[in-house]
C-alpha cells in the first residue's frame, strides 16, 4: 500500500524546506508569506477541505520543477501540483504543510507545426491563448471547457476536461499525443510521440491524462491540432418539458447528425442566465436546446435538426441568422454556471454522465431530488454526449441548507450510477468524489488503481488524499 505517514512541514522543518528550495529556485519563485500561501489553498469546489501550504513555488523551467520534487522526496513533504485552480472537485486543494507547486509561470507555447498539426506547450498555457495562437495558422485546438479563458492546459490534462464542442471533436485525452513528466523523485520521463500514429508499449500518456497530478508533474505536452472549421451556426429549440428535449437529442443522434455542439439548459438555468445577463432568453420554456453545425451547409443541417426537434415536441425552433447571433447564444450557455452561482451565492456542481437514452430519466430524477430537499437545482448539459451538470444552489451560511445540498449532490451521483452512467465526465474526482469513485470502480478496480499510484509514487507525496 502507498505510505500514509507523509505529513506536511512545520516549524524548523519548514525553514529547512524553504532553504533547500531556494538553493535551486530564484527568490521570487518561493513564497512563504502566510497571507499569500493561503490564497493557493483551494480550487473552486465546495465542501472540500483545504489546508495551508508551507510554501508556494512558481517554477519557470523543467529543471526547477525537478529540483522541487527532489527536495520534496528527500524531506518526505507532500506536493500538490496546481494550475489556474479553476477545478470543481478539490483536486488542487492544498494540505497543511505541503508544497503548492503552481505551474502558471510555465506558460510558453514552444512550437506550432502546421505540417504535423501539433503544438508543443508548457502546462501553464491558458486554453484560450492556445486556441487563438493556433488559429493564426488556420488550425484549432478543439477542447474548450467553459472556463477556457482562464483554465490552463496542464489543468485540462490533469482532469481530462471536455467542453462544449466535445460531441463532435472529443475531449482532452484525444488530443494529447505526448508528455514530458517529472516523477515524484525528480526524474524526467517522456511519453508518447509527435507522429500521427504510434503504439509502442503501454500507453502511459493516456494514463497521465486524468490522473490529477497524482502520478507526476506534466511540464510539457505535445497536442494534436485540427484544421480550423468554418464558423458554426446555432439553432435554439424550446420545449415544454425536459424529457421532450432529451427525446430530441436522441432523435438527432440516431439520425446520424454530427453537430459541433448540442447543449441543454433547463428552465432554472435559463432564468438565472437572464437575471445575470439580461439576454432575454425565453423563460416560458422548460428546456432550451442549442444545436450547432460547422459544416459546409450549416443552414441545411439546422433545418433537418429543427424538424426532428419539432417531431419531439418543440414549441418553437429558431435558427440563428448569422455568426454574431450564434455567438450570443453560446455566450448564454457559457455563462450558465456563473449565473447559477449568483442565485444563492454558493453552488455544488455535479458532473454526472449517463447514456444519451437515459438523459430524460436523469433530469426527471434531479427535479424530484430538488423538490424533496427544497433546493434550487439547475441543470446544464453537454447533451450530445450525456454529460450533465446539475448545479445545487444553496446558502452556505445555513447549516441545514448545506446539509441538504450535500445530500442532494450524493443522491444525484447515485442516480447517475443507477442509470448506467459515471460520477464524472470531465471535472475529475479530487476530494469531492473519493467515496463515489470507490463505488464505481469496485474493490478490484480500486486495488489496481492504487497499485499504479504506488508504482509511480511509492512515498505517496504527490497530491496525497486525492482520488482514493
- Report domain extents, the chain: 109-227, 233-418
**Range 233-418 has CATH code 3.40.462.10:** yes
Q: Is the pLDDT of residue 3 over 50?
A: no
Q: Among 1-10, 75-84, 282-291, 334-343, where is mean pLDDT lowest?
A: 1-10
> What are the E-state strand segments in 363-436?
376-382, 387-394
Closest CA to 430 of 454, 465, 462: 465
pLDDT (0 to 100) of residue 144? 87
Q: Who contacts 429 (Cβ-Cβ below 8 Å, separation ≥6)?
A: 89, 91, 212, 423, 436, 437, 466, 467, 468
> For cell 482532469, what's the residue?
159
Q: If pLDDT is split at 50, 70 and 90, which confidence band does 1 have?
A: very low
Q: Residue 306 pLDDT > 50, yes or no?
A: yes
At 218-234, the pLDDT tens digits run: 999 999 999 999 988 99
Q: What is the C-alpha separation between 61 and 65, in angstroms, rounded? A: 7
109-227 and 233-418: identical CATH topology: no
Q: What angle do CA 221, 81, 68 make, to 5 degrees?
A: 95
pLDDT of residue 163: 84
What distance in Å separates the CA atoms of residue 238 and residue 404, rounded to the nearest whole number? 31
pLDDT digit string, tens, across residues 27-69: 999 999 999 999 999 999 988 999 999 999 999 999 999 999 9
Map residue 183 onto helix, strand or coil.
coil
**CB atoms inside a 10 Å sphere around CB 440:** 17
**pTM greater than the 0.85 cutoff:** yes
Question: Residue 7 has what pLDDT?
Answer: 73
Rounded distance, CA 349 to CA 88, Å?
7
Architecture field, domain 109-227: 2-Layer Sandwich (3.30)
Whole-number Å distance between alpha carbons of 352 and 3:
31
Segment 206-217, tens digit of pLDDT: 999 999 999 999
Amino acid at each position: 500500500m502507498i505510505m500514509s505517514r507523509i505529513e506536511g512541514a512545520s516549524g524548523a522543518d519548514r525553514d529547512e524546506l524553504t532553504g533547500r528550495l531556494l538553493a535551486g529556485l530564484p527568490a521570487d519563485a518561493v513564497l512563504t508569506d502566510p497571507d499569500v500561501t493561503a490564497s493557493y489553498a483551494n480550487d473552486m469546489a465546495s465542501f472540500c477541505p483545504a489546508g495551508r501550504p508551507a510554501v508556494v513555488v512558481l517554477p519557470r523551467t523543467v529543471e526547477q520543477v525537478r529540483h522541487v520534487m527532489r527536495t520534496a522526496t528527500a524531506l518526505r513533504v507532500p506536493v500538490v501540483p496546481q494550475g489556474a485552480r479553476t477545478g470543481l472537485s478539490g483536486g488542487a486543494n492544498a494540505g497543511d504543510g505541503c508544497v503548492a507547486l503552481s505551474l502558471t509561470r510555465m506558460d510558453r507555447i514552444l512550437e506550432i507545426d502546421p505540417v504535423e498539426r501539433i503544438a508543443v506547450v508548457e502546462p501553464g498555457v491558458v486554453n484560450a491563448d492556445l486556441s487563438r495562437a493556433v488559429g493564426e495558422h488556420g488550425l484549432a485546438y478543439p477542447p474548450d471547457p467553459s472556463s477556457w479563458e482562464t483554465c490552463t492546459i496542464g489543468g485540462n490534462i490533469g482532469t481530462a476536461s471536455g467542453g462544449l464542442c466535445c460531441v463532435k471533436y472529443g475531449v482532452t485525452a484525444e488530443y494529447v499525443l505526448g508528455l514530458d513528466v517529472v516523477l515524484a523523485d525528480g526524474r524526467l520521463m517522456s511519453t508518447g510521440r509527435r507522429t500521427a500514429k504510434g503504439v509502442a508499449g503501454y500507453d502511459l500518456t493516456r494514463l497521465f491524462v486524468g490522473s490529477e497530478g497524482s502520478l507526476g508533474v506534466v511540464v510539457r505536452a505535445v497536442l494534436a491540432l485540427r484544421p480550423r472549421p468554418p464558423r458554426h451556426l446555432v439553432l435554439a429549440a424550446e420545449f415544454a418539458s425536459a424529457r421532450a428535449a432529451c427525446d430530441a437529442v436522441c432523435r438527432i443522434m440516431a439520425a446520424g447528425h454530427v453537430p459541433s455542439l448540442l447543449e441543454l439548459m433547463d428552465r432554472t438555468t435559463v432564468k438565472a442566465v437572464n437575471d445575470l445577463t439580461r439576454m432575454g432568453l425565453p423563460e416560458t420554456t422548460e428546456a432550451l436546446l442549442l444545436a450547432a453545425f460547422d459544416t459546409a451547409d450549416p443552414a441545411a443541417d439546422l433545418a433537418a435538426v429543427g424538424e426532428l426537434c419539432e417531431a419531439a415536441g418543440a414549441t418553437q425552433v429558431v435558427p440563428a441568422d448569422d455568426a454574431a447571433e450564434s455567438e450570443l447564444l453560446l455566450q448564454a450557455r457559457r455563462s450558465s454556471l456563473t449565473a447559477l452561482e449568483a442565485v444563492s451565492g454558493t453552488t455544488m456542481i455535479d458532473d454526472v454522465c449517463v447514456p444519451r437514452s437515459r438523459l430524460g430519466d436523469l433530469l426527471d430524477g434531479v427535479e424530484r431530488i430538488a423538490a424533496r430537499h427544497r433546493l434550487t437545482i439547475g441543470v446544464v448539459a453537454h447533451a450530445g454526449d450525456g454529460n450533465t451538470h446539475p448545479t445545487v444552489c444553496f446558502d452556505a451560511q445555513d447549516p441545514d441548507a448545506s446539509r441538504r445540498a450535500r445530500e442532494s449532490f450524493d443522491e444525484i451521483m447515485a442516480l447517475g450510477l443507477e442509470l448506467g452512467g459515471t460520477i464524472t465526465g470531465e471535472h475529475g474526482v479530487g476530494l469531492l468524489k473519493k467515496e463515489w469513485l470507490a463505488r464505481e470502480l469496485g474493490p478490484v478496480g480500486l486495488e489496481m488503481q492504487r497499485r499504479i499510484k504506488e508504482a509511480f509514487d511509492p512515498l505517496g507525496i504527490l497530491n496525497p488524499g486525492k482520488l482514493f
